Amino acid sequence: MDAVELKQNDPSSNSETSPKLIQNSASGNSSAATTPATGRRLPIDRGDLGIRIAREGTWYYRGSPIGRLSLVKLFASVLRREADGRYWLVTPAERGRVEVEDVPFLAVALTFEGEGADQRLIFRTNLDEFVTAGPDNPLRVETAANGEPAPYILVRNGLEARLARAVFYELVELGTEQQVGTRTQFGVWSRGAFFSLGESTPDWG
């Protein structure tokens, strides 16, 4: 991974110069350590960065929305999710925690190519990343607390995008019934994989 300098100043500002974003915190380490196995220098832990990704995909810094899309994309390029479910911005030099309300990304557009099992479902995220559903990028549908479907797609490295409502409705329009074991499942094909959206044709309109 190329080194990415995160020492931007107020990311909510549109100015080219801004104060330093990642600052030493009381919970952070004052010096870097090395891994015994490789001898490589570990990133300095900066603790909580004050960055929050809201459920609708907006990034905030200390309560203010980050207005520069290019800066959000930069941060997103070094976003990582650890085994404990916590999110971090990680560069070779430093890392810091990020609060994520649901998942980091929102799928805002859907296109498709082909048909049947050869169909390819291509999603665009709110940060202009493209991901094609398939064995390496599965779709899943959870049930939200209000009983409505909550659909997600894996974008990369444990980072998911939630499908916007309109995108999910488009996905349902492409659905078909498929026998899975002893049950008839309603779902979609993409890159040879079948993803269930429910046990019968859903009425989510």
* Best CA proximity match to 73, nearest among 11, 165, 166, 9: 11
Q: Which of 1-10, 11-20, 40-49, 114-123 has the lowest mean pLDDT?
A: 11-20
C-beta separation of 96 from 173 below 8 A: no
Q: What is the pLDDT of residues 16-43, one digit of tens each?
A: 333 344 444 334 444 445 555 656 778 8
pLDDT at 35: 56
Residue with tokens 């999110």: 87
Q: What is the pLDDT of residues 52-94, one digit of tens each?
A: 999 999 999 999 999 999 999 999 999 999 999 999 999 999 9
pLDDT at 164: 97
Asked whether the predicted pLDDT for residue 102 surpasses 80, the reply is yes
What gap in Å lies between CA 101 and CA 173, rounded to an integer? 29
pLDDT at 183: 85
What average pLDDT does range 46-57 have in this prediction?
A: 96
Considering the domain 1-101 in this protein, what is its CATH number? 3.10.540.10
Structural Rg of the chain based on CA atoms:
20
Class of domain 105-198 (CATH, top level): mainly beta
pLDDT at 199: 65
pTM, full prediction = 0.80
What gap in Å lies between CA 122 and CA 132, rounded to an integer? 4
Sheet with 79-81, edge to edge strand ranges: 64-65, 59-61, 44-53, 94-100, 87-90, 79-81
Q: What is the pLDDT of residues 141-188, one digit of tens each?
A: 998 888 889 999 999 999 999 999 999 999 999 999 988 878 889 999
pLDDT at 27: 42
Reading the block at residue 102, the tokens are 């649901």
Domain ranges, ordered by start, for the chain? 1-101, 105-198
